[in-house]
Amino acid sequence: MPDTKNSTPLDPPPSYEAAQQPSAPVLRPRAPVLLDLPALNSLRGKRVILASASPRRRQLLAQIGLTNLEIIPSAFAEDLPKSGAPFDYVLETATQKALKVYEQEINNVAKGEPTLIIAADTIVVAPNGEILEKPKSMKSHVETLQMLRDGGFHQVYTAVACMAPLESAADPGYRLETHVEETAVRFDPLATDELILSYVKTREGVDKAGGYGIQGIGAILIDKIDGSFDNVVGLPLKSTLKLIEKIMTQQADDEEELNFDR
């Protein structure tokens, strides 16, 4: 004889009526929609170049609908001296990245000249003022993260350079708008050496200045940020949109003036 006490279910079975109800639809991510802004609308069907191979920057721009980007990483050597102010270093690097792609693509016969070039550079500056490179070994990677943990706040700077060729022949042939954003980041001072080593072994931070990715597993190392989160990821999106709006509005004004003069 079965043990009815132990075999009795704790919860009643679902009703037949409930079982007949259709299951909930599977939710799929919605494709990014281009914001209905004149500056972005003017870029539809045009050559818009991202002078960076960073998938993170590409993903951030996709959030405002710029999904049909041409990815042309800049060939600029990024060998400027780091002895000066970090602000100046990152701004000049981003500007030179944009200029290099402009010089390469301005006379592209097959595709035509680009409408807009977006370049960026991100640096991590240690509490002692040193501009940090990407890790060169597991040992240096661990030491860098330990130093960031023990040093309090460090700074992340991203410079964005937006460049658009001019309709006129006015020197230098392009319009340039730039912006530098700063975010302060503090690691969790209680993060253990074991946790840091475990993170290093994931290899997530090997291709990133400072050796960590805040948008990934690296978030476990972070205690606090003061400023823009996406700036630390690699592109301050709000500021970038403002640059695009400014430069494309100026372009539209120039075209109107040229057409009027004709």
Instruction: Tell me the pLDDT tens digit for each residue of 122-166.
Output: 999 999 999 998 999 999 999 999 999 999 999 999 999 999 999
At residue 208 the predicted structure's pLDDT band, cuts being 50, 70 and 90, is: very high
State in words which class domain 38-261 has: alpha beta
Task: Provide the pLDDT for residue 33.
Answer: 64
Task: Provide the pLDDT for residue 19.
Answer: 43
Task: Provide the pLDDT for residue 255.
Answer: 64
- Which residues are catalytic, by number? 121
Task: Provide the pLDDT for residue 17.
Answer: 55
> Does residue 88 register a pLDDT over 80?
yes
Task: Provide the pLDDT for residue 93.
Answer: 97
Task: Provide the pLDDT for residue 14.
Answer: 52
Q: How many residues does the chain have?
A: 262
> Does residue 2 register a pLDDT over 60?
no
The residue ranges of every structural domain in the chain are 38-261
Task: Provide the pLDDT for residue 16.
Answer: 38
Query: Higher pLDDT residue, 210 or 253?
Result: 210
Residue 173 CA to residue 167 CA, distance in Å, equals 8
Task: Provide the pLDDT for residue 260.
Answer: 52
Question: The whole model's pTM is what?
Answer: 0.83
Task: Provide the pLDDT for residue 13.
Answer: 55
For 7-47, how does the pLDDT look when each residue is reduced to its tens digit (9 = 90+)? 444 555 555 355 445 555 555 656 556 688 999 999 999 99
At residue 252 the predicted structure's pLDDT band, cuts being 50, 70 and 90, is: confident
At residue 168 the predicted structure's pLDDT band, cuts being 50, 70 and 90, is: confident
The total of other beta-carbon atoms located within 10 Å of residue 182's CB is: 17
* β 174-187/222-226 pair status: antiparallel
- Average pLDDT over the chain, rounded to whole? 88
Task: Provide the pLDDT for residue 31.
Answer: 57
> Does residue 121 register a pLDDT over 80?
yes
Task: Provide the pLDDT for residue 90.
Answer: 97
Task: Provide the pLDDT for residue 84.
Answer: 87
